[in-house]
Each structure stands twice: as C-alpha cells, then as structure tokens.
Amino acid sequence: MIPIRKNAEWWNLSKEDRVALMKEHTIPTVAYFKTVKRKLYHSTGLSDVDFLTYFETNDLGEFNDLVIALRMVREDTFNVQLGEPTIIGTLKNWDEIVDLLVK
C-alpha cells in the first residue's frame, strides 16, 4: 500500500490536462496487467494524502520495474509524497494465521 500526495500545481491543471497525463501514466502499466492487481482509493480531504494505492503481486521484481517505469512519466513530477510509509504484507487465510500463531 503506497500513499500518494500531489502538489497544488496538479490540482490546478484543467481536467483535460490531467486526463492526458494519466494516459501517459497508464501506457507503461499495460505490461504489468497480468502480474500486478491494483486498487485506487481517493482520500483527499479524508486523510493528509490524496490517494491510497493498493497492489497485490507474487513478483516483487516486476512490481519494482513497474514503479521505476512510472517514476519516469511526467505525472510523477507532481507527486510530493510517494510511499513514506510504503506498507508491505502477505495475504493469509484464517487457517494459515492459526498455524503461524500456534508455532
């Protein structure tokens, strides 16, 4: 889970300009559709960040490549917070959790 905050310049762009920049954001992500599942939560006004991005993957190397690719698009220059903290965990079902607790 990676919290993200954008600067005022971003929010002052026209909707059309923001959509154009988000298209640039989406292009490099296509290569990761099969290995990275994502969910985007909007948190402007609810938290001190604008977005909580959530991802699931079995391949952290692929995920690292994805993040590096997105750090190179123009949209990234509007980010004033990306991560810090980044929260990492593993999905476990109830039986697996009980097994871990009794060990």
Query: Which residues are catalytic, by number?
Result: 38
Under 8 Å CB-to-CB from 70, ≥6 apart: which residues? 25, 28, 29, 76
Minimum CB separation from ligand HEM for residue 12, in Å?
Answer: 12
Judged by CB under 6 A, the residue of 1, 13, 24, 25 near ligand HEM is 25
Using CB under 6 A as the binding rule, whether residue 32 contacts ligand HEM is answered as yes
Q: Taking the complex as a whole, how short is the minimal distance between the CB of residue 90 and ligand HEM, in angstroms? A: 18
Residue 101 C-beta: closest distance to ligand HEM, Å: 32
Round to whole Å and give the CA distance between 58 and 36: 8
Instruction: Choose which of 9, 17, 20, 40 interacts with ligand HEM (CB under 6 A).
Output: 40
Catalog residues that contact ligand HEM under the rule CB under 6 A: 2, 4, 6, 22, 25-26, 29, 32-33, 36, 38, 40, 51, 53, 66-67, 70
